[in-house]
Amino acid sequence: MNAEPIFEVRNVTMSYGKRCVLAIDEFDILKGEILALVGPSGVGKSTLLRILNFLEPPTTGLIRFQGRTFQSGQDVPLSVRRRVTTVFQKPVLLRRSVEANVAYGLQLRGERVNGQVHAALEAVGLADLVKQPARTLSSGEAQRLALARAMILRPDVLLLDEPTANLDPYNVGLIEKMVRQINTEHGTTIVLVTHNVFQAKRLAGRAALMLDGRIVEAADVHRFFESPRDERTSAFVRGEMVY
């Protein structure tokens, strides 16, 4: 892995009305890493992901992405936004077949659809269900479909917002395997929001704790979990934080 940043977050705040829900002075995401973003509910993890995916502009501050600087309020070109893809906790699927759902993203981009759809479905273990209506999939299958749909877009950054929350161990295992594979085979940078400390340890190279809209501590996973420097990280790691 390369220590070069892909995202540089500087003085970013996000306010809804008068309420400030995010305030990050300085935080980098490194090219090619798997970063686990952990923290209780409501601390701003999803808000940070929306900003990183350029879905919502921050109230103040700037994001530098792949060396290009975007100030809050500045338009981010579609070609840049398309380098980043999010998989949400509950995927929104079209009322179409499994394969049509996977092909849709490519079609929207005006790209030719050929073997990638089947290859991606094969990779997530859905090759036998290509013709099935997507809305009839189990939650684990639906989440694997969402991952296949994101994968074929070949983003430089994949943002995963609690992708395995409420899934059974079999599906969690399959998704974790895919995440690892996407990262190693394509060098895709991955930001994984998870409540699962074990998952963070299994997958990530670095972990960061968010509380009250701020990054409390970010470190190599081993250091983060074995010898956290901040008392709040210790409490979180020991499972003493309620969420």
Least distance in angstroms from the C-beta of 49 to ligand ADP = 8
The residue among 241, 175, 218, 166 whose CA lies nearest residue 33 is 218
- What's the count of helices (H) and strands (E) in the chain, helices before strands? 9, 10
Question: Is residue 47 a contact residue for Mg ion (CB under 5 A)?
Answer: no
Angle 180-186-189 from CA coordinates, rounded to 5°:
70
Q: Which of Mg ion, ligand ADP, none binds 77 (CB below 5-8 Å, type-dependent)?
A: none
Please choose, out of 38-46, 146-154, 176-184, 215-223, the segment that lies near ligand ADP by the rule CB under 6 A. 38-46
Shortest separation between residue 55's beta carbon and ligand ADP, angstroms: 11
CA distance readout (Å), 146 to 40, 56, 220: 24, 21, 28
User: Is the CB of residue 3 less than 8 Å from the CB of residue 36?
Assistant: no
d(CA 119, CA 121): 6
What is the amino acid identity at position 218? A
Phi, psi of 157 (to 5 degrees): -130, 130
- Please choose which of ligand ADP, Mg ion, none residue 47 contacts, taking the beta carbon within 5 to 8 angstroms, the exact cut-off set by kind: ligand ADP
The residue among 43 and 178 lying less far from Mg ion, judged by its C-beta, is: 43
Query: 9 contacts which partner out of Mg ion, ligand ADP, none, CB within 5 to 8 A by kind?
Result: none
Residues 50-69 within binding reach of ligand ADP (CB under 6 A): none
98-108 vs 116-123: helix crossing angle, rounded to 10: 130
Q: Which residues contact 43 (CB under 8 A, 6 or more apart)?
A: 210, 211, 212, 213
Give CA separation, 49 vs 10, 140, 191, in Å.
Answer: 15, 22, 8
Separation of alpha carbons 36 and 28, rounded Å: 13
- Among 41, 107, 184, 227, interactor with ligand ADP by CB under 6 A: 41
CB of 46 to Mg ion, least distance (A): 3
Quick check: 45 binds ligand ADP (CB under 6 A)? Answer: yes
Q: How far is the CB of 47 from Mg ion (least distance, A)?
A: 8
Among 1, 2, 25, 42, contact with ligand ADP (rule: CB under 6 A): 42
Nearer to ligand ADP, 46 or 189 (CB): 46
Q: Which is nearer to Mg ion, 45 or 149 (CB)?
A: 45
Using CB under 6 A as the binding rule, whether residue 43 contacts ligand ADP is answered as: yes
Choose which of 7, 12, 29, 46 interacts with Mg ion (CB under 5 A): 46
Question: Which residues would be at the binding site for ligand ADP (CB under 6 A)?
Answer: 16, 21, 39, 41-47
Which residues are at the interface with Mg ion (CB under 5 A)? 45-46
